[in-house]
Structure 1
Amino acid sequence: MITVENLTKRYGEYVAVNDVSFACKPGRVTGFLGPNGAGKSTTMRIIAGLTPPTSGSATIAGVPYRDIPNPATQVGVLLDASAQHAGRTGMEILRLSAMTMGLDMKRVDEVLEWVSLTPEEAGRRVRNYSLGMRQRLGIANALLANPKILMLDEPANGLDPAGIHWMRTLLREYADRGGTVLLSSHLLHEIEIIADDLVVIGRGEIVAQGTKDELLAGTGAHVKAADDEALGQALVNAGFAAYPAQGGGINVEADPAQVGRVALDSAIPLIELRVGANTGLEAMFLQLTEQTQREQPATQGAL
């Protein structure tokens, strides 16, 4: 189990992480989400013992990472797939890790097969790897000692659709066997499929956390109008989050009665108005992090 309590990290006057608290439980995949610069990587580096916190704590099974004997046997970490020795082969990197951890060398062949790196690919120098191959190698390194906890930052970068499906299956099976997974990714659809719990961070602070089902429970309204663009703009002007829906219409974070009132006040005829179904992780993410996005949701200008 990973436990983060009142974690704060300052760089001079800049606060990268501010009083962050959450927990990642065994048997569950925790999706860690936030815009660029929100504090995800800083938090994960602190958990992995690479960056000291200004205050607060991050522990693994109640112990700071740096105090765990032979920690890579307990926690598999992948924070940057590019941070691997470019002059070594994939096989050499895994064998060195296995030697450091005191593992049987047979384990290297097992994880290479598990992540679908062929003997020929494992014999290449990492400088000649694609980003997807580096990701597979990094995941292999994280899994080498069959740890109880996995912490992965953007592991799907560079993977093709088949690779993303493979990774999703691997992590789901790992959690189902009782493992703890902390997964940061910008691929919201993949997080929505695989995650059990969600932690959303913006400007260094937690803006939402809970189970996926709790956070994505069906709320809001779905509406279609004679002029969706005009209604969308009217809803945004009224302070409601509004997003284009697949198949047409608008999903709105508001009660149907509130949407109807905006349409009436704006003299926009409605074609359909009903309680919204699950509006999805992307809609929730954009709503929660609206003030921390580098790019504002397109609906504010397009609707």
Structure 2
Amino acid sequence: MIKVEGLTRKYGTFTAVDDISFVCQPGQVTGFLGPNGAGKTTTMRILVGLTAPSSGRATIGGHLYSEIPNPGRHVGVLLEAGAQHGGRTGREILTLGAMSMGLPRSRVDEMLELVSLNKDEADRRFRNYSLGMKQRLGIAHALLGDPSVLILDEPANGLDPAGIRWMRGLLKSYADRGGTVLLSSHLLNEVELIADELILIGRGRIVAQGDKASLLSNTEHKSTFVTAEDNDQLIHALKAKGYDVSTAGTGLRVEVAPIEVGRAAAENRIVLSDLRSADGGLEELFLSLTEDVQRDEVPAQAATTEGASA
């Protein structure tokens, strides 16, 4: 279990992490989400003893990372995939890790196979690795000691769609066996597919945390995109219930939650071909909660076009 209590890190007058607290439970993947510079990496560096906190405490299994004997056997860490000696091969990097942890050499081959690095790739110099290969090797190194806890910072960077799906399955399987996973990312859609719990951070402070359903249930406004075999019939049924309805592309936008639209359609035996939230789901919630630290804004015209084509 990972436990963070009142954690703060200041650099002069700048506060990178501001009094945050959370728990990551065994058997779960916890997504740690936030814009670039939100404090995710600083928090993870504190967890593994690379950065000292200004105040507060971060423990793994009830212990500071520095207190854990042979920590690689208990905690797998991937903070920077490129932080390896460029002149060593992937196999040499894993072999040195295995030796430092007191593991048999056979463990190296097991990990190379697990992350799908073939013999030619394993014997290639690290400086000649692609970013995706570096990520795979980093994950192999994190799993080398068969740890009970994984701490991974942006592990999907550089992976192609097949690689991201592979990583998703690997981490989900790890959690299903009782492992604890803390996974940081700014790729919300990818983490949403795997995470059991979500922690949203912006400007060093936690702005929301919980599972996806509970986070979305706290949003005040609900609206729906819907398309029926007979949109006119659906419009009549929805307006009869007092719902605001407008056209959106080939379908309708209704200012009420999807379940109410579905109920109205069922009561009137109307066949639907599309029914989904128009509020943007978790992505919209995330952007709204961290809007003061976002670098980019979506132009109003682009947002309108997107909604109309949905």
- The TM-score normalised by the length of structure 2 is 0.80
Partner of 2:90: 90
Partner of 1:282: 283
Q: Secondary structure at the match of 1:109?
A: helix
- Residue 12 of structure 1 deviates from its aligned partner by 0.5
Give unmatched runs, 5+ long, in structure 2: 226-242, 247-251, 259-276, 305-310
CA displacement, residues 109-133 of structure 1 (integer Å, 9 cap, x when unaligned): 0010000000110000000000000
Q: 1:211 and 1:272, CA in 2 relative to 1: closer, same or farther beyond 3 A?
A: closer
CA displacement, residues 58-82 of structure 1 (integer Å, 9 cap, x when unaligned): 0001101011001111000000101
Cα distance in 1 for residues equivalent to 2:161 and 2:113: 19
Partner of 2:158: 158
Cα distance in 2 for residues equivalent to 1:46 and 1:299: 40
CA displacement, residues 143-182 of structure 1 (integer Å, 9 cap, x when unaligned): 0011000010010111111111100000000000000000
Contact 2:7 2:17 in 1 (8 A): yes
Stretches (4+) displaced over 3 A: 276-279, 297-303
Percent sequence identity over aligned pairs? 64
- Residue 213 of structure 1 deviates from its aligned partner by 2.1
Partner of 1:180: 180
Cα distance in 1 for residues equivalent to 2:52 and 2:167: 30
Cα distance in 1 for residues equivalent to 2:85 and 2:6: 35
Bigger Cα Rg:
2
- Residue 281 of structure 1 deviates from its aligned partner by 2.1
Partner of 2:34: 34
Q: Secondary structure at the match of 2:62?
A: coil
* Number of equivalent positions: 264
- Residue 97 of structure 1 deviates from its aligned partner by 0.3
Q: How does 1:106-121 map to 2 (within 5 A)?
A: 106-121=106-121
Cα distance in 1 for residues equivalent to 2:299 and 2:195: 26
Partner of 2:254: 273
Q: 1:105 and 1:299, CA in 2 relative to 1: closer, same or farther beyond 3 A?
A: farther
Cα distance in 2 for residues equivalent to 1:169 and 1:52: 33
1:128 aligns with 2:128: yes
Contact 1:30 1:183 in 2 (8 A): yes
CA displacement, residues 78-109 of structure 1 (integer Å, 9 cap, x when unaligned): 00101111110000000000000000110000
CA RMSD, 1 decimal: 2.3
Cα distance in 2 for residues equivalent to 1:299 and 1:96: 53
1:9 aligns with 2:9: yes
Q: 1:62 and 1:118, CA in 2 relative to 1: closer, same or farther beyond 3 A?
A: same
Partner of 2:297: 296
- Counterpart amino acid of 1:137? L
**More off after superposition, 97-106 vs 185-194:** 185-194
Q: Secondary structure at the match of 2:223?
A: strand
Q: 1:103 and 1:290, CA in 2 relative to 1: closer, same or farther beyond 3 A?
A: same
- Residue 302 of structure 1 deviates from its aligned partner by 4.7
- Counterpart amino acid of 1:273? V
Partner of 2:236: none
- Residue 190 of structure 1 deviates from its aligned partner by 1.1
Q: How does 1:48-63 map to 2 (within 5 A)?
A: 48-63=48-63
Give unmatched runs, 5+ long, in structure 1: 225-258, 264-270
- Residue 137 of structure 1 deviates from its aligned partner by 0.3
Partner of 1:25: 25
Contact 1:31 1:195 in 2 (8 A): yes
Cα distance in 2 for residues equivalent to 1:210 and 1:71: 29
Q: Secondary structure at the match of 1:31?
A: strand
Contact 1:290 1:297 in 2 (8 A): no
- Residue 33 of structure 1 deviates from its aligned partner by 0.4
- Residue 191 of structure 1 deviates from its aligned partner by 0.7
Contact 2:2 2:58 in 1 (8 A): yes
Partner of 2:76: 76
Q: 1:209 and 1:118, CA in 2 relative to 1: closer, same or farther beyond 3 A?
A: same
- Residue 297 of structure 1 deviates from its aligned partner by 4.0
Cα distance in 1 for residues equivalent to 2:145 and 2:224: 52
Partner of 1:101: 101
Partner of 1:221: 222
- Counterpart amino acid of 1:295? D
Contact 2:36 2:186 in 1 (8 A): no
Cα distance in 2 for residues equivalent to 1:69 and 1:302: 53
Contact 1:87 1:126 in 2 (8 A): yes
